């Protein structure tokens, strides 16, 4: 939640999320005409918007919303809104999402909402009986700030949807494969005989796994799916499977797996516990789609899991 301080106090300036614009800068902006204090365009690429934004740690501009022409806003992947807002005099302050260029104020929907209805008003004495919601309001250069009741959401600048996609990704539980194998970890196999490998599929081990992150005016849904699993078999060899694999059944006999199998050429004697350690590395592909129609792909996520395999040789008795 944005923190508001009495902006009218001498030499105090603006406090947004613990970042201060010095009293001298605040006084300068208050005294200058709007046409000088908030020049459009210029080196910052702003048009009638006095704040430019570098969104989070990615350095990319935020996604322009309905509230301005050429403005941009952003949040970091942490969801804390720690991108930098740059004023026209190159002063930088950590910003929060929800900037409205029309009144040069930040708005955040309050959660939880204060009591509303008969007998409850906002900082301006507004009636809260009808439809609407409470917002925390912080302004850049004047002393307007506090809890306000709005019947419709303010026309704010939206964050970069890719940032929301990262927030959605961070809500997911993505795990390594739940490895199934035949012969299983407790059963001996033989050199040259087929080994079956598979992943016991769930939304957390194979997908699809989806989550949504949203702010007023924008929502983004990210979806993760495993595209491949590479099994490092412990003997120096590996196999990459693009399916979850086929669970083994006794009726298959000595057949090889149709889509995810291996054959050892070495025994596991001499390895810790007399077993090979099998490591499965799952590659998760993550795509996202926003309520504005935009979409994209995030960098792949990797998860690992392990099992063991005991391998011996067939003993021939004369």
User: Hey, what are 234's tokens?
Assistant: 């412990």
Q: What is the mean pLDDT of the chain?
A: 74
Query: pLDDT of 46-102, one tens digit each?
Result: 333 344 443 332 323 333 332 222 223 333 333 334 455 555 456 565 556 677 767
In the chain, what are the domains? 14-150 (no CATH), 161-312 (2.60.40.10)
| Rg for the chain, CA atoms, rounded | 29
- Beta strand segments in the chain, E: 14-16, 19-21, 52-54, 84-86, 92-94, 99-100, 105-109, 133-139, 145-150, 179-182, 188-190, 194-199, 209-215, 218-232, 238-241, 261-263, 276-290, 295-312
Q: Of the ranges 210-219, 243-252, 273-282, which one carries the lowest mean pLDDT score?
A: 210-219
Give the pLDDT mean for 17-38.
31
Question: Within 10 A of 74 (CB to CB), how many other CB atoms are there?
Answer: 28
Both tokens assigned to 107: 């708005």
pLDDT band, very low/low/confident/very high, at 204 (cuts 50, 70, 90): very high
| Whether residue 184 has pLDDT greater than 60 | yes
- Determine the Cα–Cα distance for residues 44 and 265; give it in Å rounded to an integer: 64
- For 222-274, the pLDDT digits (tens) are 999 999 999 999 999 999 999 999 999 999 999 999 999 999 999 999 999 99
Instruction: Write down the pLDDT at residue 70.
Output: 28
């Amino acid at each position: 939640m944005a923190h508001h301080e009495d902006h009218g106090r001498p030499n105090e300036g603006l406090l947004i999320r613990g970042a201060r614009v010095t009293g001298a800068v605040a006084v300068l902006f208050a005294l200058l005409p709007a046409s000088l204090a908030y020049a459009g365009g210029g080196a910052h690429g702003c048009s009638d918007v006095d704040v430019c934004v570098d969104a989070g740690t990615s350095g990319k501009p935020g996604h322009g919303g309905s509230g301005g022409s050429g403005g941009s806003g952003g949040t970091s992947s942490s969801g804390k809104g720690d991108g930098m807002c740059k004023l026209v005099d190159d002063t930088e302050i950590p910003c929060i999402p929800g900037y409205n260029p029309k009144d040069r104020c930040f708005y955040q929907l309050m959660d939880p909402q204060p009591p509303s209805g008969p007998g409850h008003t906002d900082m301006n004495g507004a009636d809260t009986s009808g439809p609407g919601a409470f917002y925390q309001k912080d302004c850049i250069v004047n002393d307007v700030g506090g809890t306000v009741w709005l019947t419709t959401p303010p026309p704010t600048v939206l964050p970069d949807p890719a940032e929301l996609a990262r927030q959605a990704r961070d809500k997911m539980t993505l795990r390594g494969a739940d490895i199934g194998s035949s012969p299983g970890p407790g059963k001996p196999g033989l050199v040259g005989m087929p080994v079956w490998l598979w992943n016991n599929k769930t939304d957390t081990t194979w997908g699809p796994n989806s989550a949504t992150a949203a702010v007023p005016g924008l929502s983004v849904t990210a979806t993760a799916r495993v595209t491949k699993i590479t099994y490092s078999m412990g003997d120096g060899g590996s196999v990459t499977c693009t399916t979850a694999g086929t669970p083994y059944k006794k009726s298959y006999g000595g057949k090889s797996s149709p889509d995810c199998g291996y054959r050892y050429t070495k025994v596991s004697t001499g390895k810790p516990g007399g077993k090979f350690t099998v490591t499965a590395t799952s590659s998760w592909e993550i795509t996202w789609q926003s309520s504005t129609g935009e979409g994209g792909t995030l960098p792949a996520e990797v998860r690992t899991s392990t099992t063991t395999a005991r391998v011996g040789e067939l003993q021939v008795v004369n």
